[in-house]
Amino acid sequence: MCQLLGMNCNVPTDICFSFEGFCARGGKTDDHKDGWGIAFFEGLGCRVFLDDKPSIASPIAELIRHYPIQSTNVIAHIRKATIGPVGLENCHPFSRELWGRDWVFGDCKLVCVSSLKSFCH
């Protein structure tokens, strides 16, 4: 099963320290090596980074570990593939723009698309 890391703060904070340990679970201290992603909310926008490489070996993850992006809301995900191939299309968090806002979604189980459609209507 996949793993999630979230941070919610009242003042913009970087996630470098927590992400360092979380990132190690993507191939060093655990076997969640089938991709990863992280999203940072900045004002009304969202900065999203995804990679289908193990987070422990990803140059993008290396950047995040050493670049203190300030945010009040962060969500990160490391994947252990159980359904679907290893690829960017299956790396969370997913990001979409809807109603003029950025929305980010990450999950650790199979999601029924029809139930998501009924939730949004």
Distance CA 103, CA 13 (A): 20
For residue 2, indicate whether it is catalytic.
Answer: yes
Distance CA 2, CA 78 (A): 6
**Active-site option among 2, 23, 46, 91:** 2
Q: List the alpha helices (DSSP H) in the chain.
A: 16-24, 59-66, 113-120
Q: Which residues contact 29 (CB under 8 A, 6 or more apart)?
A: none
Query: Which amino acid, residue 33?
Result: K
Phi, psi of 12 (to 5 degrees): -55, 130
Catalytic residues: 2
